[in-house]
């Protein structure tokens, strides 16, 4: 039988599935349930310095081929979240703490606090708008490099930078993460999108624009991982539209060492982790792959 264990740098995983940030990550209890359902690791909701309320109006709508959600950055704040991490650590799988900040200099202290709370690794959510405008931090390779370097000097645990597809120079940003000493890259976050309700002639979301996730964005995620794999040596975690084992295999063959599942929980429930693992294993057995490692990046071979 195929061996599903894998590693993302120093982080060892019993299987290649992780819970993606923002989905069921609000409380330690829900992270524990995800651990019990068979995930290889969990990522917390993105946490900032201060508590922040959610937006009013619909915040998540299901479209034909994906989900549209408001990037509200609602969270209880880093101090309050310590208790949730403590609970989540009982799940006996790696807990990856996701952090976001309004400014470069806030990332280091925030990441350090997340590490002190007990997170085994950090994921940097770089989708927050720049101080000057609406452009995401993730769109500016220099800024991303600065954030990654700040965080690396503040913590000892592995640091993964989560990249956004809403940028022009994805590969340059990935290279900046590597040059700054980042331990890995997570790709991708949601795609900026919009839906309009014809009957009322208004945007469906109160904030007009939201983040698209789920099956609709899988080809964009796979393409992003493929390109990043050719540009950097550090490990990649693939995310975007993973619902089945074959979706996970696509990401792995593009170059990912693990995948995250967010919308998949909405579509398949908590069984999605075990289901994806069983389907990956069946695929490997049928096709003669003994280890995840044997599939990583093989779509690049001529």
Ligand X SMILES: Cc1cc2nc3c(=O)[nH]c(=O)nc-3n(C[C@H](O)[C@H](O)[C@H](O)COP(=O)(O)O)c2cc1C
- Interacting residue with ligand X among 4, 23, 148, 161 (CB under 6 A): 23
CA dihedral 35, 249, 22, 147 (to 10 degrees): 110
Q: Within 178-197, which residues bind ligand X (CB under 6 A)?
A: 189-190
Q: CB under 6 A: which stretch of 15-23, 141-149, 270-278, 281-289 binds ligand X?
A: 15-23
Q: Is 244 in the site for ligand X (CB under 6 A)?
A: no
Q: Is 224 in the site for ligand X (CB under 6 A)?
A: no
- Interacting residue with ligand X among 16, 22, 158, 210 (CB under 6 A): 22
Residue 132 contacts by C-beta under 8 Å, 6 or more apart in sequence? Answer: none
Give 145 or 165: the residue with its C-beta nearer to ligand X: 165
Whole-number minimum distance, CB 202 to ligand X, in Å? Answer: 21
Q: CB under 6 A: which stretch of 19-27, 112-120, 138-146, 246-254 binds ligand X?
A: 19-27
* Prior bond of 298 cis (ω within 30°): no
Angstrom CA distances, 255 to 151, 271, 300, stand at 25, 25, 8
Tokens for 96, please give them.
Answer: 């990856």
Which of 178, 120, 113 is CA-nearest to residue 148?
178
Give 22 or 275: the residue with its C-beta nearer to ligand X: 22
Whole-number minimum distance, CB 295 to ligand X, in Å? Answer: 20
How many Cβ atoms sit within 10 Å of the Cβ of residue 14? 16
Cβ atoms of residues 260 and 187 within 8 Å: no
Q: Is 17 in the site for ligand X (CB under 6 A)?
A: no
How many Cβ atoms sit within 10 Å of the Cβ of residue 49? 19
Q: Within 204-223, which residues bind ligand X (CB under 6 A)?
A: 213-214, 217
Per DSSP, what are the bridge partners of residue 241? none
Q: Is 248 in the site for ligand X (CB under 6 A)?
A: no
Give 241 or 297: the residue with its C-beta nearer to ligand X: 241
Q: Is 235 in the site for ligand X (CB under 6 A)?
A: no
Give 69 or 113: the residue with its C-beta nearer to ligand X: 69
Whole-number minimum distance, CB 144 to ligand X, in Å? Answer: 14
Q: Is 261 in the site for ligand X (CB under 6 A)?
A: yes
Q: Within 150-169, which residues bind ligand X (CB under 6 A)?
A: 162
Tell me the C-alpha distance between 221 and 255, whole Å.
11
Q: Is 6 in the site for ligand X (CB under 6 A)?
A: no
Q: CB under 6 A: which stretch of 135-143, 260-268, 270-278, 292-300 binds ligand X?
A: 260-268
3-state secondary structure of 10: coil
Q: What are phi and psi of 221, to 5 degrees?
A: -65, -45
How many Cβ atoms sit within 10 Å of the Cβ of residue 125? 27
Interface map 86-125 toward ligand X (x if CB under 6 A): ------------x--------------------------x
Give 242 or 253: the residue with its C-beta nearer to ligand X: 242
Tell me the C-alpha distance between 294 and 166, whole Å.
31
Q: What is the DSSP string of 244-270?
A: SHHHHHHHHHHTEEEEEESHHHHHHGG
In the complex, the residues that contact ligand X under the rule CB under 6 A are: 20-23, 45-46, 60, 67, 69, 98, 125, 162, 189-190, 213-214, 217, 239-242, 261-264
């Amino acid at each position: 039988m195929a061996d599903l264990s894998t590693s993302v740098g120093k982080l060892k995983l019993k299987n290649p599935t992780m819970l993606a940030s923002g989905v069921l990550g609000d409380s330690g209890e829900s992270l524990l349930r995800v651990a019990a359902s068979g995930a290889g690791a969990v990522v917390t909701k993105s946490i900032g310095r201060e508590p922040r309320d959610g937006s009013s109006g619909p915040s998540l709508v299901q479209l034909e081929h994906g989900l549209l959600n408001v990037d509200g950055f609602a969270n209880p704040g880093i101090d309050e979240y310590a208790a949730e991490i403590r609970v989540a650590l009982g799940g006996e799988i790696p807990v990856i703490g996701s952090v976001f900040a309004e400014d470069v200099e806030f990332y280091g202290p925030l990441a350090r606090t997340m590490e002190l709370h007990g997170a085994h690794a950090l994921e940097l959510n770089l989708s927050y708008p720049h101080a000057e405008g609406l452009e995401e931090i993730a769109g500016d390779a220099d800024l991303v490099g600065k954030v990654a370097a700040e965080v690396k000097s503040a913590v000892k645990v592995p640091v993964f930078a989560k990249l956004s597809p809403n940028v022009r120079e994805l590969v340059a940003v990935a290279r900046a993460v590597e040059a700054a000493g980042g331990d890995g890259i997570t790709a991708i976050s949601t795609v900026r999108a919009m839906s309009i309700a014809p009957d009322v002639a208004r945007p469906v979301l109160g904030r007009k624009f939201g983040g698209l996730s789920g099956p609709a964005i899988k080809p964009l995620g796979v393409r992003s991982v493929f390109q990043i794999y050719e540009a950097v040596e550090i490990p990649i975690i693939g995310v975007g539209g993973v619902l089945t084992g074959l979706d996970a295999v696509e990401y792995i063959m593009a170059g990912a060492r693990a995948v995250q599942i967010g919308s998949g929980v909405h579509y398949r429930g908590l069984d999605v982790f075990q289901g994806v693992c069983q389907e990956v294993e069946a695929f490997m057995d049928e096709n003669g792959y003994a280890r995840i490692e044997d599939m990583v990046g093989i779509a690049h071979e001529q």
